[in-house]
Amino acid sequence: MRKIDVIFFIFIICLAVPFIKFFDLNQDRDRFVLAGKFRAEAVDLNTFPRKGIIDRNGNELAVDILRSTLIFENSIDKDNALAFASIEGEPVFLTNPRRIYFEKQLSKNFISRLEKFCQCEAIYESLFRRYYPYGGIISPLIGFSGLDGGLEGLEKSYENYLKSDFTKRNLTKDRKGRRTNGDLAQFLSESNSPPLKLTIDINLQLKLFEELRNSIATAKAKGGFGIIMDIKRRYSCKR
């Protein structure tokens, strides 16, 4: 074969390769489009807290607070983690055999140092916990809620209004996987939805509670009942 024929053959091959490659890519076009869409889009599941309950002056009677939670494999790891939290001065809200609820949100640095201290692995969760600032003073009216929603009192009666909500948001991501777009306005409007406002005044409830408790103690009675009435405002406070 002459040298010119070899050069011509190589030239033809060089021209053919791009067309062959283009044909192969075109065959897989849909697959590449789907892969690009998968990498560029994300679905975020938002958990909105249970709505709060306030008195007529805006005092919170029931509120959901976001708690950082760590889950451990066993109680020994949990106890070691509690010891580390005490050393670091990190306040703890509640514990059970394998879980610690912290008062504040935890940083990644704190969790990393905790795992190194107790030589364990902790599962991190951020959960809303229901909190009743006035406890038993108002509990006969407010009631309480659990994992299944309102169980007693107003928490149960107004379950459809107070209940937690879960929504999905479609987000876009850049080439580094960072979220660049999402419906933030919708998230803020839903998370800041108005609480359930009652007509009672917790300050009067507190005063009545103290007077009734002292009267019961003085009379050595088993129980009692009290009522405060404001004729002008047509307000009554029962206990």
Better-scored residue on pLDDT, 129 or 87: 87
pLDDT at 86: 92
Question: Which amino acid appears at position 212 of this protein?
Answer: L
Domain extents in the chain: 49-163, 202-238
pLDDT at 55: 93
Helix 108-118 to helix 75-88 angle (10° resolution) is 120
Assess whether pLDDT exceeds 60 at residue 185. no
Assess whether pLDDT exceeds 80 at residue 230. no
- One of 1.10.3470, 2.60.120, 3.30.70, 1.10.1740 is the CATH number of 49-163, namely 3.30.70
Determine the average pLDDT of the residues in 97-117: 90
Other CB atoms within 10 Å distance of the CB of residue 37: 9
Assess whether pLDDT exceeds 90 at residue 103. no
Question: Which amino acid appears at position 6 of this protein?
Answer: V
Residue 113: band (very low, low, confident or very high) from pLDDT cuts 50, 70, 90: very high
Q: Residue 18 belongs to what H/E stretch?
A: helix 3-27
Lowest mean pLDDT among 48-52, 74-78, 208-212, 227-231: 227-231
The answer to whether 103 and 94 have CB atoms below 8 angstroms apart is no
Residue 237: band (very low, low, confident or very high) from pLDDT cuts 50, 70, 90: low
**Residue 224 gets which letter from DSSP?**
-
Residues in the chain: 239
Per-residue model confidence as pLDDT tens digits over 65-84: 888 899 999 999 999 999 99
CB contact set of 138 (below 8 Å; sequence gap of 6+):
61, 132, 200, 202, 205
Determine the average pLDDT of the residues in 142-165: 86
Assess whether pLDDT exceeds 90 at residue 4. no
pLDDT at 167: 62
Q: Is 101 helix (H, G, I), strand (E, B) or coil?
A: strand
pLDDT at 109: 92
Determine the average pLDDT of the residues in 27-37: 61
Other CB atoms within 10 Å distance of the CB of residue 207: 15
Instruction: Please choose, from the candidates 79, 200, 183, the residue with its C-alpha nearest in 3D space to the C-alpha of residue 134.
Output: 200
pTM > 0.75: yes or no: no
Which long-range CB contacts under 8 A does 130-134 form with residues at least 24 apart? 130/50, 130/62, 130/63, 130/64, 131/62, 131/63, 131/64, 131/65, 132/61, 132/62, 133/59, 133/60, 133/61, 133/63, 134/61, 134/202, 134/205, 134/206
